[in-house]
Amino acid sequence: MKRRTVIKNTIFGVGGLSLLSSFKAIEEMVHPFGKTNIGVQLFTIPGLVDQDLRGTLKTLNDIGYTEVEFFGPYPFSAEVAIKQWEEMKGMLQLKNNAFYGYTAKETSQLLKEHNLMAPSMHTDIVSLRTNLGPLLEGLAPINPKYVVIPALLDSNERKDAGDYRKLADEFNRFGEQMNKYGMKFVYHNHGYEHATYNGETGLDILLKNTDADYVQFELDIFWMKAAGAEPVQYLKRYPGRFKLLHIKDAAAEFRFSGDGGTPDQWMEGFPKMADPGDGIFDIKKIIAEGSKSGVDHFFLERDLAPNPMETLNNSFKNLNAMF
């Protein structure tokens, strides 16, 4: 029995309700934002999961993480998406796609063995458009609540406000289909959606024209700041719409060289990233606002961390002290 449980049972045994109130007050001081699950987006450590998914999940649990977020492609992704990933996979010196030699059902069992959950999973827009049913069926054994698009690579789909309204309609349709599986569609900001059209950003258009019953958002604080926007302001402006947060810090200020819409611009930012709490961002303030705004899942995501184990341990220590 855990020490905290023993203490609570002892308090109830002696009828010390006033002592229990004191215990709760102390707990609130230690964890001012409530008990929060800290997770890892696996793109932080792609080499580790590629080499040994089971061992990596054990390591995450041993450190204290309680959630993971997978990235695709998956065996049931669209064939074109799998082929497009091959070039990137070679650059990253990865051998496997998710689930790294396991089936979705086997992966679900691995997660249970290591007391981990996967509340969200990243996929691609092509698979949603051309292979939605098989994709959702394939993901179902993992039991995710959110299916996330991390970026829209085709700039022709996001040229103006009208394009963003069309995307919002499409996102609503995705969400309606996902609802049948107990899932919601999620869009993850990547920078380009902060371009302004008649005083309104693309991200604002998406937020205002999607149905919160079907569509939610994942806020990546690094990419938002790289576009010159402020995470705290967005969390305040749209309470209840950002259910997931990607947390990474910056060693120095970074702004996109262009509109933030191409992989080469994102890769320029990778060397400027830092473990949460070790950089220039006020991570604790962003987490506090996120908790107030309705964020349910907080993921470490330092893209392609150069020292994976160091980042995992250091980030958990820093983040755990902030919650």
Span 216-267, pLDDT tens digits? 999 999 999 999 999 999 999 999 999 999 999 999 999 999 999 999 999 9
Q: Work out the average pLDDT over 92-118.
A: 97
Least confident of 21-25, 63-67, 180-184, 276-280: 21-25
- How far is it, in rounded angstroms, from Cα 191 to Cα 197? 15
- Can you give the pLDDT at residue 13? 42
With tokens 């051309």, the residue in question is 130
Reduced to 3 states, what is the DSSP secondary structure of residue 118? strand
Domain boundaries, the chain: 1-30, 33-322
- Can you give the pLDDT at residue 35? 56
With tokens 């993901």, the residue in question is 139
- How far is it, in rounded angstroms, from Cα 65 to Cα 213? 28
User: Binning pLDDT at 50, 70 and 90, where does residue 298 land?
Assistant: very high
- The share of the chain scoring above pLDDT 70, in percent, equals 89
Q: Work out the average pLDDT over 30-46.
A: 78
With tokens 């997770």, the residue in question is 39
Q: The domain 33-322: what is its CATH number?
A: 3.20.20.150
Q: Which amino acid is at 149?
A: I
Instruction: Quickly count: other Cβ atoms within 10 Å of residue 209's Cβ.
Output: 16
Q: Can you list the positions of beta strands (E) in the chain? A: 38-41, 67-70, 117-122, 146-149, 184-188, 196-197, 200-201, 215-220, 242-247, 249-250, 273-274, 297-300
